[in-house]
Chains A and B, each alone.
Chain A
Amino acid sequence: MLNCQKATKLLSESLDRPLPLYQRMLLRMHVWMCRFCSRFEKQLLFMRQIFRHYEKQLSKDHPSPDSASLSPEARARIKKVLQEEESSSG
């Protein structure tokens, strides 16, 4: 039988690869009987959704007044590097 520690490890692994049948059966038994690990399973899946959503939001970019931005020095430096590259490749 699994304890919660082993179950949480298997639950995490199951997100990234299919578990062998025997481990899957033991895991389902434990989760069925343990309300904490049942919650943990749902939370792992929800976290996956949240982080994927977060990445998509990052790609879209909705800046607010206090969002980070390139410093003037960095901006100037990057432009200079690009100009040098542009003129050297003619």
Chain B
Amino acid sequence: MVSEQNVLEPETRVDGHGDFLYRYALSRVRDSGAAEDLVQETFLAALKSRENFTGQSSERTWLVGILKHKIIDYFRKVSRERPSSDMEAGEDFTERFFDKKGMWKSDTAPSEWQMDPAAVMEQKELAKTLEDCMAKLPARLSHAFQLVEMDEIKTDEVCKVLNITATNLWVMLYRARMSLKRCLETNWFHKSSEKEK
């Protein structure tokens, strides 16, 4: 017997949490269609396992937990869709940053960053810059980086998700970090120091 309460519940949840889950998914997968699918899968999974929600955390926290698992599944799926030669996609920085002796070139060598956490992390504009810099990465590098740095998953688990070796992963993370560092330097930390003048 389906009570009125049960019929209303799924819709109420979508209204209450749909936009939030969508925003989270979009930030992680950068594709509105994929983000919509992930939100749908999350609500479906929540519906099927609602007995598992014990109320110890908020409903939103529970839903975001489900969504994060779906996002990891998505990364797993994407990594298997392409041939392994794509695995080490991303720029080879050798020539851009280092001279023939392997030393930093003067124009792209690390500059001093203003690294006061309060000054940097409280600024809302930083989120946009981080997203823009991540969007520049090839998808596979972005996924590897996110699993390690945002989901904080251990190396061997990440390798299983992405179906790569640890050596592949080190290379991908190195390229992601070099690219992001440079992007942040150019678009955030240099601009900050200009503001102070």
Contact = CB atoms under 8 A, between A and B. Distances in A.
Contacts of B24: 58-59, 61
Majority secondary structure, B binding face: helix
Contacts, number: 156
B148 interface: yes
A49 B117 CA distance: 9
B148 A16 contact: yes
Contacts of A15: 173
A46 B126 CA distance: 14
A4 B110 CA distance: 11
A81 B20 contact: no
Interface stretch (B72-80, B82-90, B176-184): B176-184
A84 to B, nearest CB: 10
Nearest to B154: A16
B183 to A, nearest CB: 11
B101 A70 contact: no
A43 B126 CA distance: 15
A77 B27 CA distance: 21
Contacts of B152: 52
Contacts of B149: 47-48, 51-52, 55
B117 to A, nearest CB: 7
A4 B121 contact: no
Contacts of B130: 50-51, 54
Contacts of A12: 170, 173-174, 177-178
Interface in A19-64: 36-37, 39-40, 42-44, 46-55, 57-59, 61-64
A44 B47 contact: no
Contacts of B15: 75
Contacts of B184: 47
Contacts of B23: 58, 61, 63, 67-69
B181 A39 contact: no
10 contacts: A5-B102, A8-B178, A12-B174, A15-B173, A43-B185, A58-B23, A70-B22, A78-B36, A81-B44, A85-B44
Given A8-B178, A43-B181, 7 more contacts: A48-B149, A59-B64, A63-B19, A64-B124, A75-B18, A78-B18, A87-B2
